[in-house]
Amino acid sequence: MIKIAFFNNKGGVGKSSAVINIAHAMTRLNKSVLVVDCDDQKNTFRFFSDEQESDYSGDTRYKNLDIELLIDRTNPYASSANLGIYNYELLDLPPSLDERTRKIISDCDFVFVPIELGTFAIQGIANVTEAIAATGARFGGCFVSKFDRKNPADHELDELLRQTLGNKVMAAKIPYSRVIKNSISYRQTAFEYMEWTSAADAYVSLTTEIIAICEGGNDNG
């Protein structure tokens, strides 16, 4: 099983939406997935689970996709699941690099970082990658979230990010889209809500990239 953490030390960058959509895309590619929500906001857990939070874990309405809520603060990473039955474990981390988060990251094989384009965010990405390296986990890559293709500044900032991180920036960009916002509101993935849209296509492309990196088909540096 491959463990993947999704982390950024800034909130509101589309991290939980990415975990939700990537997990669903993986199951459509015949992967079995466990999603672990480590964020106190519990948004990912609430999206997938029809159970009470006191149950902490359970099946979802998706085949080959289970959900777990990580709530044991005395043990920062203690999963109750039979991890051997999954191809991937996706961990949705809180936007804070405290000791608990560092411990979770250190137990993962790869870390992927969503970033909303902005000068300060790009300047701060080095701190994030250095913190990931210090845990011993592998930085799988950074992907652009909420990309506004009609905004020239986003294209300029995207180029700056790629100059900064090189091939560690994923090719797929998640667009700024009402489809993503609306789909989450209706407890649907972008693919379920409008499968023919650029938002749905972007998550599928991103998932394919992630699998290629994690399974060795694309080393990505």
Is the pLDDT assigned to residue 213 strictly greater than 90?
yes
Distance of alpha carbon 158 from alpha carbon 69, whole angstroms: 34
- How is residue 81 annotated by DSSP? S
Give the model's pLDDT for residue 74.
46
pLDDT tens figures, 170-201: 999 999 999 999 999 999 999 999 988 999 99
Average pLDDT, the chain: 87
Tell me which CATH code domain 2-214 carries: 3.40.50.300
Report, as an integer, the average pLDDT of 59-67: 90
Is the pLDDT assigned to residue 142 strictly greater than 60?
yes
**What are phi and psi for residue 89, nearest 5 degrees?**
-120, 120
pLDDT tens figures, 28-41: 999 999 999 998 88
pLDDT tens figures, 85-108: 899 999 999 988 888 889 999 999
Give the model's pLDDT for residue 124.
83
Provide the b/e sequence for 58-77 (b: ≥16 CB within 10 Å). eebebebbbbbbbeeeeebb
**How many alpha carbons fall within 13 Å on the CB side of residue 101?**
18
Assess contact for 174 and 154: CB atoms under 8 A: no
